[in-house]
Amino acid sequence: MIKRIQHWLHHSLVSRLTLLVSLATLCAWIVFSVVLLHEARKETAEVLDRQLTAYADMLWQNLGDEDDLKPALYKNRDKHVVLGFSLRDREGGEVISSLATAFPVQPAASRYPYLIQHQGHAWQITVRQDDERQLIVGEPQRNQLKIAHELSEHLGETAMWAFLLLLPLLLLAIRQGLKPLKLVTAELAEREPNNLNPLEIAVPCEITPLRDRLNTLFAQVSNTLARERRFTADAAHELRTPLAGLRVQIELAQNSPRAEIREKALGKALAGVDRTTRLVTQLLALSRLEHGEQLEFEAISLPDLARTALIEADLPIDDGHLIVDQATPMRGQPILLGLLLRNVLDNARHYAGKAASIQIQINGVRLRVTDDGPGVSEADLTRLGERFYRPPGQAQPGVGLGLSIVRRIADLHGAKLQLSNLPEGGFCVEVIFNLDLPS
């Protein structure tokens, strides 16, 4: 039974809140009722004491002789005494009494009623006296207790019914208070799986953190999917040319009747496989960085990276293609910088006038790659580097990802990428590296 209750409470927020609020309300109600009953009894006792005092004052003021007290005497002589009095003379002798056994002589007059024991019962009495007489007026304490008990029963019954009436109201109020949660649930239930837009519904401040956390989660999932799509596009872009070259070399090896041509083609195919393997490694490294993996920098040599990139691009390594004015020691990620150089050189080869006009210049932290191509218009220049953007009228194959990969790698190194048209004609890609990279 206890396990069922625990299961019920753990799986129903309405039930849990109703129980907790009911318990809290019950505790507050009990404390309130106890205080109320205490104050009610106290006020009742004070009212009855004032009533007793007023009755005593009335008897004392109207006291003439014993005949004045006889109506009160016969009225109060029954087995259920409400009020009683005793009149004694100066020597303490009994003059008249409404009780079978008169009240004993009291030491002095009293301003306020007080409690005595008389004939085995508790009495609340008040005393009036002068030099000749002493009037003692009292009432059984059980009268006060009876009234207080009846008052307690009435208040307790009223409080119980009020609490029972409050329970369904609490349940209704809690259900209405949790209605925004149902609105959020309904909004989520109606969404398509690919809808990752943030929730815009208005909710109370208590539910706002939940809505904001859901919106953050939607944004994170959206970014993850965008990175996956970006990696797929990058991989397709980068692998298209190497795979096409491999196919050409393999077909040449298959179809050539000459052994030396077949061996040369197979050698180029193996070299192409090695380049493709390095390219896949570079793409995977870029993908890991896209997913938040920490970039690890190490000491690099820009001239050595440039020579390797020229070899992979089948360009000669001479003073016409590589100019090193000053080699500054710096830090970076060699795999990603190799990918950056490869994309810059591929872009130059596609759009340059002649391959012999491609030139890499290294001066300190500046890497500059130029060609003698037609360049681009000023309007297109501002958009180069955007993913999938290609200037209109291009005859060369491509999808517009090469320079976007270059920009991303430059950003990861804290480098500044500048794209410009040369005054003498041609296009220039310049990367200015940051020497303050962490160790």
pLDDT tens digits along 314-328: 777 776 788 888 888
- Tell me the C-alpha to C-alpha distance, in Å, between residue 154 and each of 35, 150, 160: 15, 6, 10
Q: Judge whether 348 lies within some domain.
A: yes
Q: Could you tell me the residue range of the domain that residue 132 belongs to? A: 2-173
Q: Judge whether 224 lies within some domain.
A: no
Q: Judge whether 277 lies within some domain.
A: no
Region 224-230 average pLDDT: 73
Q: Given this model, what pLDDT does residue 33 score?
A: 77
Q: Judge whether 303 lies within some domain.
A: yes
Pick from 173, 191, 214: which residue ends a domain?
Answer: 173
Residue 393 has pLDDT above 60, yes or no: no
Q: Given this model, what pLDDT does residue 399 score?
A: 45
Which tops the pLDDT comparison, 90 or 238? 90
Q: Judge whether 137 lies within some domain.
A: yes
**How many secondary structure helices (H) and strands (E) does the chain include?**
11, 12
Identify the residue whose tokens are 């919106």.
215
Token pair, residue 271, equals: 């070299």
* Overall number of domains in the chain: 2
Q: Given this model, what pLDDT does residue 111 score?
A: 81
CA 326 from centre of chain: 54
Region 330-358 average pLDDT: 80
Q: Given this model, what pLDDT does residue 75 score?
A: 45
Pick from 118, 139, 173: which residue ends a domain?
Answer: 173
Q: Given this model, what pLDDT does residue 431 score?
A: 92
CA 355 from centre of chain: 58
Q: Categorize the per-residue pLDDT at 48 as very low, low, confident or very high, splitting at 50, 70 and 90.
A: confident
Burial class (CB in 10 A: 0-12, 13-18, 19+), 256: middle
Q: Judge whether 80 lies within some domain.
A: yes
Residue 331 has pLDDT above 50, yes or no: yes
**Cα end-to-end span (Å), the chain:** 63
Contact predicate 269/246, CB 8 Å: yes
CATH number, domain at 120?
3.30.450
Which tops the pLDDT comparison, 19 or 338? 338
Q: Judge whether 292 lies within some domain.
A: no
Region 9-38 average pLDDT: 75
Q: Given this model, what pLDDT does residue 284 score?
A: 67
CATH number, domain at 313?
3.30.565.10
The percent of residues above 70 in pLDDT, for the chain, comes to 79
Q: Categorize the per-residue pLDDT at 169 as very low, low, confident or very high, splitting at 50, 70 and 90.
A: confident
CA 408, 412, 414, 415 dihedral sign is: negative
d(CA 336, CA 296): 11
Judgement on whether residues 13 and 149 belong to the same structural domain of the protein: yes
Residue 218 has pLDDT above 50, yes or no: yes
b/e burial code for range 279-292 (CB count within 10 A of at least 16 → b): beebbebbbebbee
Residue 88 has pLDDT above 80, yes or no: yes
Minimum mean pLDDT among 288-292, 357-361, 383-387: which range? 288-292
d(CA 174, CA 63): 67
Residue 400 has pLDDT above 60, yes or no: no
Q: Given this model, what pLDDT does residue 42 score?
A: 83
* DSSP three-state, residue 330: strand
User: Average model confidence (pLDDT) for the chain?
Assistant: 77
Judgement on whether residues 8 and 149 belong to the same structural domain of the protein: yes
Angle at the Cα of 216 from the Cα atoms of 213 and 218, rounded to 5 degrees: 110
Pick from 173, 192, 222: which residue ends a domain?
Answer: 173
> DSSP of 395-430, one letter per residue?
-S---S-HHHHHHHHHHHTT-EEEEEE-TTSSEEEE
Contact predicate 77/88, CB 8 Å: no
Q: Judge whether 256 lies within some domain.
A: no
Q: Categorize the per-residue pLDDT at 126 as very low, low, confident or very high, splitting at 50, 70 and 90.
A: very high
